Amino acid sequence: MQSENCPNCGAEVIFRSPALPARICDYCHSTVKRIADGVELAGEVAVLPFDVSPIQIGTRGEYGGKHFDVIGRIRLAYDQGAWNDWLCLFSDMTHGWLSESDGQFQMVIERPLKEIRSKLIRGLAKGKKARIGDRTQIDGSEFVVADARMATCVAAEGELPFAPSTGWEVFNVDLRDADGFSANFELEEDEDPAFYMGHYVTLAELNPKNLRAIHGWKMPDYAA
Amino acid sequence: MPPEDDRPNPWGEPAPEAAAGPTAERIVVPSESDSAPAAEQFNCPNCGGTVEIKAAGYSVSIACQYCGSTLDVSNPDVSIIQRYEGEVRKLELPLGSRGMMRGTEWEVIGYQRRSENGQYPWDEYLLFNPYEGYAFLDTDGRGWSLGRQLTAAPEKKTLVGFEVDGEFYEPFYAQTRAQVDYVLGEFYWRVKVGDEALTADFVRPGKMLSWERTRNETVWTLSELLEPHEITDAFGIDPPKGGGLPLPHQPSPYRQKAGQFMKLAVAVAVALLVITFLFGGTSDPQTTRINLATNGVEQTAKVGPIVLDRPRQAVTVSAQAPGIENSWIDLTYTLTNRDTGEIFEANNVVERYSGRDAEGNWSEGSSYSTSKFSMIPAGTYELNVFAAGSRWTQSQFGSSSNAQVDVTIEKGATFYSNLFLALLVVFAPALWQWFKHLSFESRRKSDSDFAGGDDD
């Protein structure tokens, strides 16, 4: 854990994950980037639009036998909607993304692209397009493209593996198989493509604690 | 045709650009407690009415509950997608209603009236809970189903069916086009009147698997048929009226009963067979042979004595004349109680004919016959046999001039006809329930695009 002061407003900013280079200041929404001898300012992101997500920074849970803390979030929007990608710091200091879209959750963990023997994914990495319904074999299971679209980062908070700026664009492809496994391909301008794999989950399965209390709604028993 | 698979087949024109016009700004409705606020609010840019967004962050479009216009809420500024001219419908489940169903509290936040070109309309309510996500509540007046969107892509099995969680769904409604006729409330996708989707449905008892494809995505939904009281308990509305054909995924009310009755019948049948075997057998046979000419002259013989020690007992008398050919032997039996002189009488015959005609060799009759006396009181009995043999002389084929008949008397008897009747009675209710089940299934499937052919 590293504690610094925001170069913009002076508020304390805490880096919980040693591996992450950036954090959004909770007070002034500045992006604070770690450098060799401290931190520097790397722009400002927009305030998150109001939503009723049950997750918040500080939500804890379990996945794959490991405990995790939610430490960051980016919000991505496209012409027909928006979703949240929550950054989870696992007890062994590895990271996962809890993707939240239309009330459905998937936990995905990055996999080196070179490990993946899939023509479709290799094609995507080379800049080819995928269409909804396209199929491919990954790790011996058949995945189908459920979603493929350009999205824009509209807001972010907390700790992040990059220094986001509002308006940053990403091409995102979601795949799923018959058993609830999900895979995720992301391509950003001037960045290496990234590939994630994981599983669709329900909130209850994550055994969550410190969910956000939403006015008028009873906290579910599994989170109490 | 059912969908070949869920590969995309984009159709239709792209969505028209949002109409330029007045916009409204959203504000968060403050929460008076520690918990986070639950809703956003804005004034409808068409009618000015105060509209709330319950699923803020997820909802993309809202149809104003005052004027019915559909509004775009995917941006901070609310704009009009489609103006609605007409009266706003009163919903069976008003927007904002909350109810507990199967352990989860749901709020009704959206409503669509959908149909196939105006035919076969149904109501679709969108339910929301911030911790559970979304659910769908569908009805066509006959019953209510609670559906959840699947996160897994169902696996295709055989030529036409799909499997989810190891359960098979058979095709019911083939691929067809469904349209939105009316919409109210908020949705996590951009919805408006006139929107079309391709749909197909697959069923197994109690559940329906629905496939839906729009320009942008393929969605699978799994719905469970609710008991009529569940919708009443949750939202305090009248249970569905029912009537008409069963729902595609309505479980047969007779199937379970038929199964239970069948199990019971099998158990009783086994018991009957055991009893028949244990108590119905015969014992202590005594045989007398009678030699007689087949000239109509009566011969007599005695068999016994036989001692019956149970208060009431059956006696079996059998006759066997293996050698006879185109002859018959009339038999009269008198069973006489030596002490009381009480007499029980029976008649029987053994007869066997054979020959040859245009169709080949034929034969009929049997050289064996059995007579059963039931409920004979205890005592010592002897059997008098009066046998008269006759022959069939018209036949060009040989007939026996002599006959030899062995008459056997035994204690006990097996009344197979009684057993058969008992089994019929025992199995009748199960068969009746099964018949009702099959006729229910055929009525249920009569609405299917894949009707005809196999039952079950």
Residue B29 φ/ψ, nearest 5 degrees? -75, 115
- Any idea what DSSP says for residue B410? E
Residue pLDDT, tens place only, A2-32: 888 999 999 999 998 888 889 999 999 899 9
Worst-scoring range by mean pLDDT, A156-160, B96-100, B264-268? B264-268
Per DSSP, the three-state class of B6 is coil
How many CB atoms sit inside 10 A of residue B194's CB? Answer: 9
Tracing tokens 């300012």 back to the chain, one arrives at A41
Between B246 and B275, the higher pLDDT residue:
B246
- CA of residue B242 relative to chain centroid, distance: 19
A57, A75, A102, A107, best to mutate vs chain B, most B CBs in 10 Å: A102
Shortest distance, CA A116 to any CA of chain B (angstroms):
21
B157 pLDDT higher than 60: yes
Q: Which residues of B touch A144 (CB under 8 A)?
A: 6, 153
Inter-residue contact B411 to B276 (CB < 8 Å): no
The beta strand positions in A6-79, using DSSP E, are 12-15, 22-24, 30-35, 38-44, 60-63, 66-78
CA nearest to B249, candidates B452, B444, B451? B444
B192 pLDDT higher than 80: yes
Quote the tokens at residue A213: 């209390």
Per DSSP, the three-state class of B432 is helix
B14 pLDDT higher than 50: no
Residue pLDDT, tens place only, B46-62: 999 999 999 999 999 99
Separation CA B311–CA B361 (nearest Å): 49
Separation CA A7–CA A43 (nearest Å): 11
Q: Which residues of A touch B31 (CB under 8 A)?
A: 215
A158 pLDDT higher than 80: yes
Between B148 and B292, the higher pLDDT residue:
B148
Answer whether B188 sits within 8 Å of A102, measured CB to CB.
yes
What's the pLDDT score for residue B280? 64
Summarize the confidence of residues B132-145 as an average pLDDT.
Answer: 94
Between B453 and B415, the higher pLDDT residue:
B415
Separation CA B239–CA B14 (nearest Å): 40
Q: Report the predicted TM-score, pTM, of the whole model to 2 decimal places.
A: 0.76
Quote the tokens at residue B435: 């018949």
Quote the tokens at residue A143: 């995945």
Beta-ladder partners of A39: A34
Mean predicted lDDT score pLDDT of chain B? 85
Shortest distance, CA B76 to any CA of chain A (angstroms):
8
Report in angstroms the alpha-carbon separations of B194 from A178, B111, B115: 32, 14, 10
Separation CA A96–CA A15 (nearest Å): 17
CB within 8 Å of B168: residues ≥ 6 apart: B157, B161, B162, B204
pLDDT band at B275 (very low <50, low <70, confident <90, very high): confident
B394 pLDDT higher than 70: no
- What burial letters (b/e) apply to B122-147, b meaning 16+ CB within 10 Å? bbbbbbbbbbbbbbbbbbbebbbbbb
Answer whether B153 sits within 8 Å of A211, measured CB to CB.
no
Asked if A219 is an interface residue toward chain B (Cβ–Cβ < 8 A), one would say: yes
pLDDT band at B78 (very low <50, low <70, confident <90, very high): very high
Separation CA B289–CA B329 (nearest Å): 13
- Any idea what DSSP says for residue B358? T
Shortest distance, CA B156 to any CA of chain A (angstroms):
9
How many CB atoms sit inside 10 A of residue B382's CB? Answer: 15
What's the pLDDT score for residue B2? 41
B27 pLDDT higher than 80: yes
CA dihedral B187, B188, B192, B194 (to 10 degrees): -110
Residue pLDDT, tens place only, B402-447: 888 888 888 777 667 777 888 888 888 888 888 989 888 888 888 8
Separation CA B44–CA B25 (nearest Å): 9
Q: What is the DSSP string of A91-139?
A: TTS-EEEEEEETTEEEEEEEE-GGG---HHHHHHHTT----TT-EEEET
B451 pLDDT higher than 80: no
Inter-residue contact B390 to B294 (CB < 8 Å): yes
B97, B109, B131, B217, best to mutate vs chain A, most A CBs in 10 Å: B131
Residue B438 φ/ψ, nearest 5 degrees? -65, -40
B455 pLDDT higher than 80: no
- CA of residue A198 relative to chain centroid, distance: 12
Report in angstroms the alpha-carbon separations of A33 from A6, A74, B77: 10, 16, 32
Asked if B55 is an interface residue toward chain A (Cβ–Cβ < 8 A), one would say: yes
- Nearest neighbour of A176 by CB, restricted to B31, B54, B151: B151
Between A158 and B284, the higher pLDDT residue:
A158
Gyration radius (Cα) of chain A, Å: 18
What's the pLDDT score for residue B6? 45
Q: Which residues of B touch A133 (CB under 8 A)?
A: 5-8, 218
pLDDT band at B395 (very low <50, low <70, confident <90, very high): low
Per DSSP, the three-state class of B118 is coil
| ipTM of predicted complex | 0.92
Residue pLDDT, tens place only, A102-126: 999 999 999 999 888 899 999 999 8
Summarize the confidence of residues A149-156 as an average pLDDT.
Answer: 91
B202 pLDDT higher than 90: yes
Burial grade of A159 (CB within 10 A; 0-12, 13-18, 19 or more)? buried
Quote the tokens at residue B239: 């249970």
B72 pLDDT higher than 80: yes
Tracing tokens 């197994």 back to the chain, one arrives at B204
Q: What is the DSSP string of B236-281?
A: --PPP---SSPPTTPPPTTHHHHHHHHHHHHHHHHHHHHHHHHHS-
Q: Which residues of A touch B216 (CB under 8 A)?
A: 80, 132
Summarize the confidence of residues B132-142 as an average pLDDT.
Answer: 94
Report in angstroms the alpha-carbon separations of B285 from A178, B120, B280, B282, B307: 71, 75, 15, 8, 11
CA dihedral A161, A162, A167, A168 (to 10 degrees): -100
What's the pLDDT score for residue B15? 43
Residue pLDDT, tens place only, B4-13: 444 333 333 3
Q: Which residues of B touch A134 (CB under 8 A)?
A: 7
